[in-house]
Chain A
Amino acid sequence: MKPNYFRMAVAYFVLTILALLVLIPIAAGALTAFKPSGIWVSSPPVWIFKPTLDNFKTILIERTQYMQLRNSLIISSGAVLVSLILGVPAAYALARFKFKGSSQLLGWLISLRMIPPIVVALPAFVLFRNVKLTDTHVGLILMYLTFSIPLVIWIMRGYFFELSPAIEECAMVFGCNRINALRRVVLPLVIPGIVATALLVFIFCWNEYLMALILSGRDTQTLPVAAATYVTRVEVEWGNLFAMNLIIMTPIVILAAIFQRQLVRGLTFGMIE
């Protein structure tokens, strides 16, 4: 069939506009991150200048915010690890076995993700303070698990569903018990799914602001919370803020670029039932 060039042209035009709408502010911000403090905000904006790393020096060295980078890494990777360890086997069980209350359990899990986080923020703070988990890495990881485990279960369940049960039954007939069949045959087949899920959970935890604001303290502050401190009552430190934003964004952009295909598959998966 002959491709419809007109329709393609329209589609590309619309998509280009949309992409620009998203990209221009990011590009402007990224530029500002490299501007010397005098021209952070000026009218008209300065487009040509000698780039400097002063802003990065300020935030990372003077204000020692590599500590926040460290906190974000610990908390996000910790949450990814624990939610995979707990979520993947749960997803397998929910995909393969029907037991009393299994569909209710799934519904309950997804409902956890429908709650606006602000609703649980205050009770969570009181609860965590009582068990002395505020201002700890473990505390934030625990909080994130409430949101990330349902995500892992729902996405991974989709992957397990797509695998024919015959494959593991086959492994079982030929000498594996169920755990071995899972390890030798099933898990290798869902690695793309695990990668995509891990990435999604990582991005979610990395970007999370509200819970981090409430449950973290001086020692466990994460990057998004730190970034917000550049908006002060007196002024907005634009250059430093955008430098910070760039630091927050870069690892995610790189990871997303590497795992783009799995990510798209992961996002559109499991939704079909």
Chain B
Amino acid sequence: MQVILVDLCKTFLGSVIAVDNLNLRIEDGEFAVFVGPSGCGKTTTLRIVAGLEQPDSGSVYIGDVDVVNLPPKDRHVSMVFQNFALFPNMNIYDNIAFPLQVRRWSKADIDKRVHEVAKLVGVEDLLDRKSKQVSGGQAQRVSLARAMVRTSDVLLMDEPLSAIDAKVRIQLRTEIKQLHQETKITTIYVTHDQEEAMTLGDKIVVMDRGCVQQVGTPYEIFHKPKNLFVALFVGSPTMNILEGKICKDENRGLMVELDGMKQQIPSRFCDALLNSNIEMVKWGIRPEHIKLVDGSEIDDTTGIVQVVEPLGSRDLLTIHAGHHTFKVMAEAEAVGHYNPENSCFLRFSGDFVHLFNAATDESLNGQP
């Protein structure tokens, strides 16, 4: 069922703004991920959808119904909590059966359904165990089973993987995505981990300070960040950002003067720049888009390797060039070629350059 949030506002203690006039539409069957740093309002928004927080103003539509005044139990949502929230006094079976027991299903129906779901998420062998006798990964599987045992309109997940070991986390991530592909249940997933957001989401909602910064597909969020916050938040290691002044070159058109080096501005930005009186910009490029080359082109920049961090298939290099320090992700074929103190040439391919208005941090929106 689709979820529509209209003009949501929520403050805590009368002054801390958690959610600031949020509008959002999540389509039926979509996997939406709220991502942002802690305190950005993503969990609060989720809890408002669940009915665990009451917004100061605004509406929450699930399907066509405004549920904002309904208690959680009447909203047909189910939820997975960060700390699993298994009922410690019950065994795994009763935990999964709980939503059905509360709604007075018959014993036989409950039994059938619990086994179905337990099998689906792979906790069939654990049904007799006590809640305390399962590992974190298992506990979150159980909690997932409990959330899916009753057909609900929306599945809400509040950082479900952040309390789980790294290895199991990645495995569960795949399983969650697979389960969503099979069930097609509308899902809202909250995480602070941009990688998790990218891998899981059909739609990614990047939030900061209670506001939506950008809504888009993982591709859009990564390649066309709307502002500096999104650009810096998404991608690891983070985008290299330098501040510089726009200037004109007789032969080469618009250039940006970055302390100690000059770079040509890709033509796609020129219209926007010429039509405005922007002087200062922030110029950004992701570490994986910087090429290590032989220095044959005019804009290639010489640099000195400072640190080499091998990541296996690639090397993360810290390179000093101009008066700046760049993070560069060396491609597979360059792995092992560079050592500290080596000199090198960097090429910043115009196709991958991002420009932001230095005054507003908004992207200048050049189409690649």
Residues of A at the B interface (CB closer than 8 Å) are 164, 166-167, 169-177, 180, 184-185, 188-189
**Ordered nearest first, which 9 A-B pairs have the shortest CB separation?**
A175-B102, A174-B99, A166-B85, A170-B85, A173-B79, A172-B72, A166-B81, A175-B73, A173-B72
User: Contact: A170 with B73, CB < 8 Å?
Assistant: no
B52 and A175 contact, CB distance less than 8 A? no
Q: Is the beta-carbon distance between A177 and B71 smaller than 8 angstroms?
A: yes
B→A interface (CB under 8 Å)? 50-52, 71-73, 77-79, 81-83, 85, 87-89, 98-99, 102-103, 146, 150, 156
Report the Cα distance A189→B88, complex, angstroms: 8
A173-B79, A174-B73 are known contacts; what are 15 more A-B pairs with Cβ within 8 Å? A164-B85, A166-B83, A166-B85, A167-B87, A169-B72, A170-B85, A171-B98, A172-B51, A173-B78, A175-B102, A175-B103, A176-B73, A177-B71, A185-B87, A185-B89
Chain B neighbourhood of A171, CB < 8 A: 87, 98, 102
Across the interface, do A173 and B88 meet the contact criterion of CB distance under 8 Å? no
Q: How far apart are the CA atoms of A174 and B105 in the complex, in Å?
A: 13
Point out the residues of chain A lying under 8 angstroms from B99, CB to CB: 174-175
Contact assessment for A173 and B102 in the assembled complex, using a CB-CB cutoff below 8 Å: no
Q: How far is the CA of A80 from the CA of B20 in the complex (A)?
A: 49
7 cross-chain CB contacts under 8 A: A170-B87, A172-B73, A173-B79, A173-B156, A175-B73, A175-B102, A177-B71
What residues on B are CB-neighbors of A172 within 8 Å?
51-52, 71-73
A174 contacts which of B52, B71, B78 (Cβ < 8 Å)? B78
* Contact call A177/B73, Cβ cutoff below 8 A: yes
Tell me, rounded to whole Å, the shortest Cβ–Cβ distance linking A21 to chain B: 41
A164 CA / B139 CA spacing, docked (Å): 15
Q: How far is it, in angstroms, between the C-alpha of A169 and the C-alpha of B80 when the chains are bound?
A: 11
Asked if B98 and A174 make an inter-chain contact with CB atoms under 8 angstroms apart, the answer reads: yes
Bound complex: CA A120 to CA B242 (Å): 74
Among B72, B81, B146, the one with the most A-chain Cβ atoms within 10 Å of its Cβ is B72
A167 x B102 contact (CB < 8 A): no
Nearest CB to that of B158 among chain A residues? A166
What is the minimal beta-carbon distance from A47 to any residue of chain B, in angstroms?
A: 52
Contact between A164 and B83 (Cβ–Cβ < 8 Å)? yes
CA distance A77 to B318 in the complex (A): 74
Assess the A173–B87 pair: CB atoms within 8 A: no
Contact among B51, B82, B102 for A176, CB-based, below 8 A: B102
How far apart are the CA atoms of A172 and B79 in the complex, in Å?
A: 10
Residues of B within 8 A of A185 (CB): 87, 89
Contact B50 A173, beta carbon cutoff 8 Å: yes
Chain B contacts of A176 at CB under 8 A?
A: 73, 102
- Report yes or no: A170 in contact with B88, Cβ–Cβ below 8 A: no
A180 contact set on B, CB distance < 8 A? 102
Residues on the A chain within 8 Å of B156, using CB = 173
Chain A residues lying within 8 Å of B150, measured Cβ to Cβ, are 174
Q: How far is the CB of B53 from chain A (nearest CB, A)?
A: 10
Inter-chain contacts of B52 with A (CB < 8 A)? 169, 172-173
Looking at the assembled complex, report how far the CB atom of B133 sits from the nearest CB atom of chain A, in whole angstroms. 17
Q: Which residues of A contact B72 (CB under 8 A)?
A: 169, 172-173
Residues of A within 8 A of B89 (CB): 185, 188-189
Bound Cα distance from A175 to B238, whole angstroms: 43
Complex alpha-carbon distance, A189 and B86, angstroms: 12
- Residues of chain A contacted by B71 (CB below 8 angstroms): 172, 177
B146 in contact with A174 (CB, 8 Å): yes
* Closest beta carbon of chain A to B200's beta carbon, Å: 21
Q: Shortest beta-carbon distance, B134 to chain A, in Å?
A: 16
B79 touches A170 (CB 8 A): yes
Is B98 within 8 A of A173, CB to CB? no
Interchain CA distance A188-B88 in the complex, whole Å: 10
Chain A residue contacts of B102, Cβ below 8 A: 171, 174-176, 180, 184
In the complex, how many angstroms separate the beta carbon of A62 from the nearest chain B beta carbon?
A: 51
By the criterion CB–CB under 8 Å, are B103 and A170 in contact? Answer: no
Shortest CB distance B87–A (Å): 6
Give the distance in Å from the alpha carbon of A174 to the alpha carbon of B79 in the complex.
Answer: 8
Q: Which B residues lie within 8 Å of A174 (CB)? A: 73, 78, 98-99, 102, 146, 150
Residues of A within 8 A of B51 (CB): 172-173
How many Å lie between the Cα of A170 and that of B95 in the bound state?
11
Contacts of B73 in A (CB 8 A): 172-177
CA A188 to CA B87, docked complex, whole Å: 10
Cα distance A99–B150 when bound, in Å?
35
Q: How many Å lie between the Cα of A175 and that of B150 in the bound state?
A: 11
B151–chain A nearest beta-carbon distance, Å: 13
Give A169's nearest chain B residue, CB to CB.
Answer: B52
Q: Please, which residue of chain B has its CB at the minimum distance from the CB of A174?
A: B99
Q: How far is the CB of A190 from chain B (nearest CB, A)?
A: 10
Cα–Cα, bound, A180→B99 (Å): 13
Interface centre among A169, A170, A188, A189 (most CB of B within 10 A): A170
Given contact pairs A174-B98, A174-B102, A175-B99, A169 touches B85 in the complex (Cβ within 8 A): yes
Contacts of B77 in A (CB 8 A): 173
Cβ-closest chain B residue relative to A184:
B102
With the chains together, A180 CA to B82 CA distance in Å?
Answer: 23
Shortest beta-carbon distance from B15 to chain A in Å:
14
Nearest chain A residue, comparing its CB with the CB of B156: A173
Q: Nearest B residue to A180 by beta-carbon distance?
A: B102
Q: How far is B84's CA from A169's CA once the two chains are assembled, in angstroms?
A: 12
Name the distance in Å between B143's Cβ and chain A's nearest Cβ. Answer: 8
Give Cα distance in the complex from A173 to B71, angstroms. 8
> Given the complex of chains A and B, what is the CA–CA distance between A212 and B226 in angstroms?
75
Q: Please, which residue of chain B has its CB at the minimum distance from the CB of A163?
A: B88
In the bound complex, CA of A189 to CA of B89 (Å): 6
**Complex: A225 Cα to B50 Cα, angstroms:** 57
What is the bound-complex CA distance between A176 and B103, given in angstroms?
Answer: 9
* C-alpha gap A104/B207 in the complex (Å): 37
In angstroms, how far is the closest chain B Cβ from the Cβ of A129? Answer: 48
Give the distance to chain B from A223, nearest Cβ to Cβ, in Å: 37
Nearest CB of B to A165, in Å: 9
